[in-house]
């Protein structure tokens, strides 16, 4: 099983979140468990290779 770091917060009655590696792709859920379910689905979509032009965040050693 792999893990992926995500950022989440509650706004009104909804939970919102995105993966640190994919900050342009936001999802939501009415509860934190529903948000996590939606994040899992989103992660599968983003890493499947079927969606072209996915933007990612990466690190580069420069020194």
Which conformational region is residue 54 in: left (phi greater than 0), alpha (psi within -120 to 50 degrees), or beta?
beta
Separation CA 35–CA 41 (nearest Å): 10
pLDDT at residue 9 in the model: 98
Domain assignment of residue 34, yes or no: yes
The pLDDT mean for the chain works out to 96
Tokens read off for 59:
């690190």
Q: Could you tell me where the beta strands, DSSP code E, fall in the chain?
A: 6-11, 14-19, 22-29
- The domain in which residue 33 lies consists of 6-47
Count of domains forming the chain = 1
Report yes or no on 43 lying in a domain: yes
Query: How much is the pLDDT for 40?
Result: 97
20-44 pLDDT, tens per residue? 999 999 999 999 999 999 999 999 9
Is 6 a residue whose pLDDT tops 90? yes
**Whether the model pTM is above 0.75:** yes
Q: How confident is the model at residue 1 (pLDDT cuts 50, 70, 90)?
A: confident
User: Is there a domain that residue 41 lies in?
Assistant: yes
- Where would I find the H helices in 1-63? 32-47
């Amino acid at each position: 099983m792999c893990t992926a770091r995500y950022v989440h917060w509650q706004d009104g009655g909804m939970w919102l979140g995105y993966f640190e590696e994919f900050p342009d792709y936001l999802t939501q859920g009415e509860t934190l468990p529903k948000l996590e379910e939606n994040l899992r689905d989103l992660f599968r979509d983003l890493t499947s290779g079927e969606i072209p032009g996915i933007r990612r965040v990466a690190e580069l050693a420069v020194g």
